[in-house]
Chains A and B, each alone.
Chain A
Amino acid sequence: MDSLNTLWLSTGLANFELGQVVMMLVGCGLLYLAIARNFEPLLLLPMGFGAILTNIPVAGFSEAGGLLHYIYYAGVDTGIFPLIIFMGVGAMTDFGALIANPKTLLLGAAAQFGIFATLFGAIALNYVPGIEFTLKDASAIAIIGGADGPTAIFLASKLAPELLGAIAVAAYSYMALVPIIQPPIMKAFTTDEERKIEMKQLRPVTKIEKIIFPVGVLAMTIFFLPSATPLVGMFCLGNLMRESGVVDRLSSTAQNELINITTIFLGLGVGSKLSAEAFLNVETLGILALGAVAFSIGTASGVLMAKTMNKFSKEPINPLIGAAGVSAVPMAARVANKVGLQANPHNFLLMHAMGPNVAGVLGSAVAAGILLALVGG
């Protein structure tokens, strides 16, 4: 009888707590979004599964000695996984559209206003009982507006590790929701005539420009913002491997096998932070709300900047491409192209929108570096 009792006590059924069940359901919700709705499945699937594993009673996945504990501390806490992913993203990024039309860097800069404006929102939420965000927490939440998953995870792991789970869920969910969040904002801030504007064809970009570009960006970051060099440095390394043309094997590994392997572990590591005590609170609701605000402000400021540039530029600029400045590569550029096509079926904005889109990646990495330098110290 005693052994039967011991066996019963070692079952999951005897040890379940309500919070764990709820978090397992949250994990199942993430799996549903990934599998049925195709929302950023590459990350949400391992993340959702990680959330289920970490909440299994008795198994101790996230306690010292557990698999997820080591994955988290080896790769997420140290910042290694998001940086390896950033190298892969660099190896997948073609800066041609940006080099051909460098003005679009200003759109990538303007869209970062979403990040900095959200800082206010996060601090203002301290008026709500049960929420207490420090400036570090606020900065980690605000970076969701950068619409860049690895950057958000990297900054959150440095500034507010206890909020990492909620921040990562918000960042990736909103990135998946770009096609739903952005179009109404883009249409609200532009006229039909503006959406019809056709842009001049981009000039061809030479190989030497593409090779020197990442080196130049890295040099500038070293001089002006060393705190951003982990992100920008890995990004530039990936991009140089791609553009140099001499290490195709490395470039291919960085943008395929390596980024895929790391994504599995990053997803699991972030999922391990989805425990009941860290996720089931008012702060998570606040983070989800602020993430949406950050995205919307970023989109609007990118569009408004493009409108302003169109007024003063000799060459016409379609304000829709400003929305791509939030990064979320290449989804935001595709959205700009789609909304443009709705207004004018002969207007293909995809290549033009890729400029601000990759500028947004650089912009959010720079913004993360600024937040690290000013708040992280």
Chain B
Amino acid sequence: MDNMQQQFIEAGTLMLTGMVFVFAFLGVLIVFINTVLAKLAVKFPDAIAVPSSRPNKKSKSKSTANGDISPAVVAAISGAVKRYRTQHGHDK
């Protein structure tokens, strides 16, 4: 009977130590995520995060300040149209 009591005490101690440790460990991990990772995220934002958090930024790079389409895009479209017309003409 004493042996059982002893085992219950051991199990109780194990439970207390175990739960305190699990909470402490994962608690420190929360601090780690909130400090180190959060700072890293601000310093090194990646390509996926930028458009979703600031959707206007990406479209700005493709258009000029007043909302017109940028010259590079215009050039690409004109090139494609010209090639299409040429090919179209040859077909006829």
Contact = CB atoms under 8 A, between A and B. Distances in A.
Interface of A: 98-99, 102-103, 105-106, 108-110, 112-113, 115-117, 119-120, 122-124, 126-127, 135, 138-139, 203-209, 212-213, 216-217, 220, 224-225, 359, 362-363, 366-367, 370-371, 374-375
Interface string B10-50: 11101101110111011111101110110011001110110
B19 to A, nearest CB: 6
Given A208-B44, A212-B37, A117 B15 contact: yes
B64 interface: no
A370 B13 CA distance: 12
Nearest to A225: B25
A367 B33 contact: no
B26 A363 contact: yes
B25 A220 contact: yes
A112 B21 CA distance: 11
B86 interface: no
B66 interface: no
Given A123-B7, A216-B37, A363-B22, A206 B32 contact: no
Interface residues of B, number: 34
Contacts of B10: 135
A204 B52 contact: yes
A201 B36 CA distance: 22
14 contacts: A98-B33, A99-B33, A102-B34, A109-B25, A110-B23, A112-B18, A112-B19, A115-B18, A120-B8, A120-B12, A135-B10, A208-B44, A216-B37, A374-B18
B40 A212 contact: yes
Contacts of A124: 8
Given A105-B30, A119-B11, A374-B17, A209 B52 contact: no
Contact of A204 (B28, B37, B53): B53
**Residue of B19, B27, B49 most packed against chain A (CB within 10 A):** B19
Contacts of B76: none
B4 A126 contact: yes
A208 B30 contact: no
B26 A108 contact: yes
Interface of B: 4, 7-8, 10-12, 14-15, 17-19, 21-23, 25-30, 32-34, 36-37, 40-41, 44-46, 48-49, 52-53
B53 to A, nearest CB: 6
Contacts of A207: 46, 48
A117 to B, nearest CB: 7
A2 B7 CA distance: 59
Given A102-B30, A113-B19, A371-B18, A120 B11 contact: yes
Contacts of A106: 23, 26-27, 30
Nearest to B53: A204
A370 B22 contact: yes
B18 A205 contact: no
B51 to A, nearest CB: 9
Given A108-B26, A220-B25, A220-B32, A204 B18 contact: no
A309 B76 CA distance: 55
Contacts of A105: 26-27, 29-30
B11 A135 contact: yes
Contact of B23 (A109, A127, A220, A224): A109
B22 A109 contact: yes
Contacts of A216: 29, 32, 36-37
A88 B3 CA distance: 42
A204 B41 CA distance: 10
Contacts of A109: 19, 22-23, 25-27
A122 B14 CA distance: 13
Contacts of A366: 21-22, 25-26
Nearest first, the 5 closest Cβ-Cβ pairs linking A and B are A116-B15, A102-B33, A105-B26, A119-B11, A207-B46
A86 to B, nearest CB: 18
Nearest to B16: A116
Nearest to A107: B26
Contact of A206 (B17, B19, B30, B49): B49
A78 B1 CA distance: 36
A359 B29 CA distance: 10
A46 to B, nearest CB: 32
